[in-house]
């Protein structure tokens, strides 16, 4: 009995000591309020990311639209110049044929007619030479018109894909789903690639 009494205080003191030295248990999981706060923060962070994406896409769209308008304007101006050059070429060509006809008529007469015919042939040759130079310039302008048209089509395609990307980002905000936001990256990258392609094609 005495041994039992002596053992009890020792056991009690050992038990108390082990409780004092026991490591604190790690809390498993989060409190509902903390979980809700973290969810709200993640939600706000996601919406900010989508909003930032839309802002960047809007800048890219504005740049693509500006380049598209410039390319179309350049195409119209070059086409007008090319048309003027072709009209000038036709006028020179017609005048050359007229001088040839005058030379044929003048050659039917005597010596004075022969001299006049020679003068007409010189003028015809000069008109023909001028028309060839004008034709070369008109063809060059025609190639520039084609190049400007290709650039404009590239920029138009870039503009279309960037607009779709912005729409998908807007749907992502409304639907509270990041799926549309991720899909917008595919369209935005495609739009940027097409725009860069058009920009490089200009040089």
Model's pTM, two decimal places? 0.67
Q: Are 181 and 50 in contact (CB under 8 A)?
A: yes
User: What DSSP state is assigned to residue 202?
Assistant: T
Phi, psi of 123 (to 5 degrees): -65, -40
Q: Which of 59-73, 121-135, 152-166 has the lowest mean pLDDT?
A: 121-135
- Please provide the average confidence, as pLDDT, over all residues in the chain: 80
């Amino acid at each position: 009995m005495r041994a039992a009494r002596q053992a009890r205080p020792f056991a009690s003191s050992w038990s108390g000591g082990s409780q004092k030295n026991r490591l604190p248990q790690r809390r498993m999981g989060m409190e509902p309020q903390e979980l809700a706060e973290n969810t709200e923060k993640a939600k706000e962070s996601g919406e900010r990311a989508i909003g930032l994406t839309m802002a960047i896409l809007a800048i890219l769209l504005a740049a693509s639209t500006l380049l598209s308008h410039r390319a179309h304007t350049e195409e119209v101006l070059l086409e007008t110049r090319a048309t003027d050059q072709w009209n000038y070429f036709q006028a020179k060509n017609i005048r050359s044929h007229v001088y040839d006809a005058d030379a044929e008529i003048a050659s039917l007469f005597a010596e004075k007619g022969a001299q006049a015919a020679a003068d007409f042939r010189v003028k015809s040759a000069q008109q023909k030479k001028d028309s060839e130079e004008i034709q070369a310039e008109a063809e060059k302008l025609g190639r520039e018109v084609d190049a400007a048209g290709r650039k404009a089509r590239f920029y138009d395609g870039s503009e279309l894909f960037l607009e779709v990307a912005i729409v998908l980002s807007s749907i992502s905000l409304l639907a509270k789903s990041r799926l549309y936001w991720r899909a917008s990256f595919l369209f935005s990258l495609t739009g940027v690639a097409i725009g860069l392609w058009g920009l490089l094609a200009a040089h």
